[in-house]
Amino acid sequence: MILRSLIVLFIFFSGCTNANEIASKKSALKILFVGNSLTYTNDLPQLVQEIGKYDSVSIEYTMLSFPNYSLEDHWKEGKVQKEIETGRYDFVVAQQGPSALPESQVLLLEYARRLAEVCKKNNTSMAIYMVWPSSTRFLDLDNVIYSYTQAAKQTQSLLCPAGLAWKYAWQSTPSLPLYGNDNFHPSMTGSVLAAFTVYGTLIKKSNFDFLTAEKSPWTEISKKNLDTLKQAALKAMEK
């Protein structure tokens, strides 16, 4: 009788373990990243996933990002729509180039609107990932911020304000190395800041206290600079 009870208990707890594993897998956030080299440089999606691990949030992602692609290019190719229509994704995070010029602002809004409509039909939340200009066009930063902010507002999308966070980070620490060697693509520091804005926006974070300098996997970023990145991201997300 005791042996039979032990067997029943073993089967019960084994079933619970499998159920927990399945529930854990189902609870993973699924994100589709759409963009160009400003997304795949330093593997932004992987950085977002890594931040999630420190916050006990499981993230699975797919990335459709190719050199020099705009949202118009993605739309005309058609892969993004098909991927969204699978219904697998909780979020789509989309970006194109800086889009500071008036004609670029029009295109950003037009194709963000089209993607947002596809997302809505498939119960997926659309998020627009705000980027930044090259260092030689640094004075365009406010126009980039305006362009992406308006696109998010007019499509009722979430806004991941990386470009604005870069601005705030530089206001705090002008020497912060956010650009990479080509003075356009991000350094690891710049990508981590962008990742904080993406993760914080999607998960609605009010702090990043879960990721301390002692735990940080980015050894090249000092404690002081990591604190600056977190504060800049939070300030940008408040706007």
* pLDDT tens-digit map of 64-120: 999 999 999 999 999 999 999 999 999 999 999 999 999 999 999 999 999 999 999
Burial of residue 7, with CB atoms counted within 10 A of its CB: 0-12 exposed, 13-18 middle, 19 or more buried: exposed
Instruction: Please state which CATH number belongs to domain 27-238.
Output: 3.40.50.1110
Q: Cα separation of 231 and 80, whole Å?
A: 33
Query: Over the chain, what is the mean pLDDT?
Result: 91
Q: Give DSSP secondary structure letters for 38-107.
A: HHHTTTHHHHHHHHHHHTT--EEEEEEE-TT--HHHHHHH-HHHHHHTT---SEEEE--S---SHHHHHH
Examine the pLDDT at 15 and tell me if it is beyond 50: no
For the stretch 162-183, what's the b/e string if a residue is b when 16 or more beta carbons lie within 10 angstroms of its beta carbon?
bbbbbbbbbeebeebebbbeee
Provide the percentage of residues in the chain whose pLDDT is more than 70: 89
In the chain, where the domains are located: 27-238
Q: pTM, whole model, 2 decimals?
A: 0.89
